[in-house]
Structure 1
Amino acid sequence: MEANMSVVDVVSQIQQLKQSGETMSKKKIKHSHPDLLQNALYYFPSWEHAIQNSESV
């Protein structure tokens, strides 16, 4: 699998979803934003890690 988004794009999109009040559960994101989840898992060991990294930026 190759990423089609940069890590900056992934973090930025996670931040935007959180700010808009989107449910951040892996199951919901897999259904509503599968490309985001796939790219996040390319850069981070888990969806939770991706969320944590988006908070520290």
Structure 2
Amino acid sequence: MEVDMSVEEVLREIQQLHMNGNPLGKKSIKKSHPQLMRSALYYFPDWDSAIDKSIS
């Protein structure tokens, strides 16, 4: 699987979306930010783990 984002970029992007009040639901992100979802799932076991790591 090819990813275009580093783990730091993934975390930063999730933080930015969260701070801007965007929904972080898996379906929503998969539709609006597919590259972010692909990259997050490359680095983390699941989407919720990526969210937990980025906003903790």
TM-score tier by shorter-chain length is: over 0.9
Which structure 2 residues correspond to residues 1-57 of structure 1 after superposition, within 5 A? 1-56=1-56
Identity value in percent:
54
Q: Cα distance, 1:42 vs. partner?
A: 0.3
TM-score (norm 1): 0.94
TM-score (norm 2): 0.96
Equivalent pairs, count: 56
Where structure 1 has 5 or more consecutive residues not aligned to the other structure, the ranges are none
Where structure 2 has 5 or more consecutive residues not aligned to the other structure, the ranges are none
Q: What secondary structure, in the 3-state scheme, does the structure 1 residue paired with 2:21 have? A: coil
